[in-house]
Chains A and B, each alone.
Chain A
Amino acid sequence: MLHHALKAPTPCQTMMTPGVWMNKRTAVVTDHNQQLHDALHDCRAGRQTGVERIIALEGPQLLGVATRMLGRRDLAEEALQDAMVQVWRKAAQFSDASGSARGWIYAILRNRCLNILRDGKRISLLSPDELTTLQEARQRSVPAQDWEILAGASKLQTCLRGLEDQARTAILLAYVGGYSHGEIAARQDVPLGTTKSWIRRGLAFLKECLT
C-alpha cells in the first residue's frame, strides 16, 4: 500500500525518505496542521496573508480533490478559488472544538464542488460532448477494483475493507465522487431506500471501526 500512498506526494511529503515515511509522516502532518491552523488564525485577524499561506501549503492537494470530483480543470479551479474566498469569509467560525483546520478547509472546498455539481443551470452550459467527458471522468473517480488507493495506507482503508462491497461503493461515490443519493441508487441500480440504508449501516460500521 505504501507505494500507493506515495504515488502522489503532497508538498509536505516530498522530503521524506521512503523507509522512515510512516513515522515522519505523523510528525509532518501534525506540523502541517498547525501551520494551517495558524494561517486560519491570520485570516480571522483580517490578514490576507493567511489565505496565501493556505494556498501555498494545501492548494495543489485541494485542486486535486476538486479536479477528481468535478472531472474538469476549469470547474475545479473555479471551485478552489470560491472555496478560498469562503475560507476567508468564514475563518472566524472555525473552532478547535470541531476538528482539524485541515478537515475544515477541505469541507468548504467539497461543499463548493457539490454546489457546482448540483447547479443544473451551471452544468447545462456545457455542450453534450463536454458533459459526457465530465461524467466519464467522474465515473473513474471511484474505481470498483482499485478502491483501496482512495484511502491510502490508513486505518480508514482497513475499516473500509470490512464493509460489504455495495455499502463501500455507495459511501465512496458520495464522498469522493460527490454523487447524490439518487445518482448512487441509479448507478447501483437499486431503489433509493436501499442505497440509503446501505450508506447508513455502512457508516455506522465505519464509525465503530474507526473509534
Chain B
Amino acid sequence: MTVLPDHLTALSDDYVLGLLSESETMLFEEVMQRDPAVAAYVGDLRDRLLPLDLSASVQDLPAGFADAVQDRLGAVKQLPAAPRSHPKPANDPHRPRAWRGALAASIVALAIGFGAGWQRPLPDPVVVAVLVDDAGVPQAVVEDYGNDTATVRFVADIDVPADRSLQAWTLPSAELGATSLGVLDGARSTVLDFGDLPDPEAQQLYEVTLEPLGGSPTGRPTGPIIGKGFAALQDS
C-alpha cells in the first residue's frame, strides 16, 4: 500500500470509511484529484473493503429506473478529465506539495473545529461554506462564527491582478441583499470582522468576487465570482 504522511493517511482512512463531513469530503476529493499518491492509496483501500458492499442483498430495480436516470443526464454538464491546470512558476518544483498542504490543512481545520495555523484557537464556527468556481472546484473555505467574525481560507491559487481586490460577501436575507464581509489583502487566509449581521444560517450564500482596487464602489458585488457556496450548519 502507498505510504502517505500520517495526517493524509488518517484523512484517507476516514474518507473511505465515510467518516468525513460533506465539506471535508468535497475538499478531500480535491486533494485526491491533484495527488496521485493519495488517489492510489484510497483506491487500494476501497477495493480491499469492497466485499462489505458485495454482501448486501440484491434488490430489484423499480420499473423504468434506467429511463428515469437517462432523463436526467441530458441536463448534466460532465466534468473535465483533469482538474484545471493552474499556472505554476517553472522554478518552483515544490508547488504540488504546497497544494496538497493547503488543502489538507483546510480539511484538518474543518475536522478539528478550529483554524489550524491561526495564532489562537477560534471557537467552533456556526457555519462553514466551501466556495467553488463554476466548474465545481473548491477555491476557498469560509467559516462564520456568528459573532460578526468569519475567516476565509483559500485552497486554490488565485491570480489577483495588481489593480484588483478580492472581496468577501454574504446574503443574510433577501431584504438585506448581498452584504460585504470585507475587502481582502490578497488571496491569503484572513480573519474578517464586520458590522452587525443576523446569525448565519444553513444554506446562506457566501461568495468572493474580484472587484476594483479597494473594493466594490457600489457596496454590492460588481466583478466576476471567484467562488461561491452555501453554508452548512456545524454540529456544536
A interface residues (Cβ-Cβ under 8 A, vs B): 4-5, 7-11, 43-44, 46, 48, 51-52, 55-56, 59-61, 63-65, 67-68, 73, 76-77, 80-81, 84-85, 88-93, 95, 97-100, 102-104, 106-107, 110-111, 114-115, 118, 120-121, 149-152, 154, 156-157, 171-172, 174-176, 178, 180-182, 199-200, 203, 206-207, 210-211
Shortest CB-to-CB span from A82 to chain B, Å, is 9
- Chain A residue at minimal CB-CB distance from B83: A93
Q: Tell me, in angstroms, the Cα distance from A207 to B42 when the chains sit together.
A: 12
Contact assessment for A48 and B73 in the assembled complex, using a CB-CB cutoff below 8 Å: yes
A46 with B78, Cβ < 8 A, contacts A8-B57, A182-B235 known: yes
B interface, over-half SS: helix
Shortest CB-to-CB span from A54 to chain B, Å, is 9
Contact assessment for A181 and B19 in the assembled complex, using a CB-CB cutoff below 8 Å: yes
Contact of A85 among B22, B54, B62, B76 (CB under 8 A): B76
Contact assessment for A55 and B18 in the assembled complex, using a CB-CB cutoff below 8 Å: no
> Apart from A84-B69, A99-B42, A120-B233, what are 16 other A-B pairs with CB-CB below 8 Å?
A8-B57, A46-B78, A59-B65, A63-B60, A64-B58, A65-B53, A80-B65, A85-B73, A88-B76, A89-B77, A89-B78, A91-B78, A111-B18, A151-B51, A175-B49, A178-B18
Q: Is B197 an interface residue (CB 8 A)?
A: no
B interface residues (Cβ-Cβ under 8 A, vs A): 1, 10, 13, 16-19, 21-22, 25, 32-33, 36, 39-40, 42-62, 65-66, 68-70, 72-73, 76-81, 202, 233, 235
Contact assessment for A157 and B19 in the assembled complex, using a CB-CB cutoff below 8 Å: no
Shortest CB-to-CB span from A191 to chain B, Å, is 16
- Set of chain B residues within 8 Å of A60, measured between Cβ atoms: 58-61
- Set of chain A residues within 8 Å of B233, measured between Cβ atoms: 120
Contact assessment for B18 and A114 in the assembled complex, using a CB-CB cutoff below 8 Å: yes
A156 with B60, Cβ < 8 A, contacts A84-B69, A181-B19 known: no
Contact assessment for A152 and B54 in the assembled complex, using a CB-CB cutoff below 8 Å: yes
Contact assessment for B47 and A176 in the assembled complex, using a CB-CB cutoff below 8 Å: no
Contact of A77 among B18, B65, B66 (CB under 8 A): B65
- Chain B residue at minimal CB-CB distance from A4: B55
- Set of chain A residues within 8 Å of B18, measured between Cβ atoms: 110-111, 114, 174-175, 178
- Among all A-B residue pairs, the 10 with the closest Cβ atoms: A99-B43, A64-B56, A98-B43, A98-B39, A60-B58, A92-B81, A103-B46, A154-B51, A63-B59, A8-B57
**Can you list 19 A-B contacts (CB < 8 A)?**
A51-B69, A51-B70, A51-B73, A56-B66, A63-B61, A67-B56, A77-B62, A92-B80, A99-B46, A99-B47, A103-B47, A111-B25, A114-B25, A118-B22, A150-B55, A180-B19, A181-B19, A203-B13, A207-B45
Contact assessment for B17 and A199 in the assembled complex, using a CB-CB cutoff below 8 Å: yes
Contact assessment for A85 and B59 in the assembled complex, using a CB-CB cutoff below 8 Å: no
Contact assessment for B72 and A81 in the assembled complex, using a CB-CB cutoff below 8 Å: yes
Contact assessment for A200 and B10 in the assembled complex, using a CB-CB cutoff below 8 Å: yes
Q: Tell me, in angstroms, the Cα distance from A157 to B78 when the chains sit together.
A: 38
Contact of A175 among B17, B40, B54 (CB under 8 A): B17
